[in-house]
Amino acid sequence: MNTDVRALTETLVSIPSHDDETAVGDRIEQWLREETDASVRRDGTGNVIAERSAVESADSLALVGHHDVVPPADRQVDADGEYVVDERDGRLYGRGTADMKGPLAAAMVAFRDAEPKFDLVFASFVGEEQGGIGAQAAIEEGFAPTWAVVTEGSTGYSTPGVTDVAVAHKGRRGSTIRATGTAGHASRPADAENAIYRASDAVDIVRSLAVPDATVLGAELGGSLAVTEIEGGSAWNVIPDSCSVTVDERTVPGEHVDLEAVEGIEGVDWVVDQDLPPMACGDPDFADRVLAAAADAQSGDPQQVAKPHATDAGWLAQAGTDCVVVGAAEPGEAHTSTESVSLAVVDRCYEIYRSVAESVIRQKD
What is the residue type of 364? K
**Which residue in 177, 315, 153 sits closest to 257, CA to CA?**
177
- Report the pLDDT value the prediction gives residue 361, as an integer from 0 to 100: 73
CATH of the domain spanning 171-276: 3.30.70.360
Whole-angstrom Cα distance, residue 169 to residue 166?
7
Tens digits of pLDDT across the chain (365 residues): 789 999 999 999 999 999 999 999 999 999 999 999 999 999 999 999 999 987 667 889 999 999 999 999 999 999 888 899 999 999 999 999 999 999 999 999 999 999 998 899 999 999 999 999 999 999 999 999 999 999 999 999 999 999 999 999 999 999 999 999 999 999 999 999 999 999 999 999 999 999 999 999 999 999 999 999 999 999 999 999 999 999 999 999 988 999 999 999 999 999 999 999 999 999 999 999 999 999 999 999 999 999 999 999 999 999 999 999 999 999 999 999 999 999 999 999 999 999 999 987 765 44
User: Across-strand partners of 64?
Assistant: 123, 150
> Could you give the C-alpha distances from 326 to 213, 312, 345, in angstroms and in order?
23, 13, 11
Where do you find CATH 3.30.70.360 in the chain? 171-276
- Report the pLDDT value the prediction gives residue 365, as an integer from 0 to 100: 41
**Considering the entire predicted model, what is its pTM?**
0.91
> Could you give the C-alpha distances from 192 to 236, 240, 262, 269, in angstroms and in order?
15, 9, 21, 19
Output the CA torsion sign for 1, 100, 329, 323.
Answer: negative
Cβ neighbours for 200, distance < 8 A, ≥ 6 positions apart: none
Note the pLDDT tens digit of each residue in 261-290: 999 999 999 999 999 999 999 999 999 999
**Which residue in 309, 277, 248, 278 sits closest to 70, CA to CA?**
309
What is the residue type of 230? I
The SS3 of residue 183 is coil
What is the domain class of 3-170+278-357 according to CATH? alpha beta
- Report the pLDDT value the prediction gives residue 117, as an integer from 0 to 100: 85
Whole-angstrom Cα distance, residue 57 to residue 47?
25
Q: How far apart are the first and last CA of the chain?
A: 39
Cβ neighbours for 96, distance < 8 A, ≥ 6 positions apart: 12, 13, 17, 69, 83, 339
Output the CA torsion sign for 96, 99, 103, 109.
Answer: negative
Indicate the pairing of strand 48-52 with strand 39-42.
antiparallel
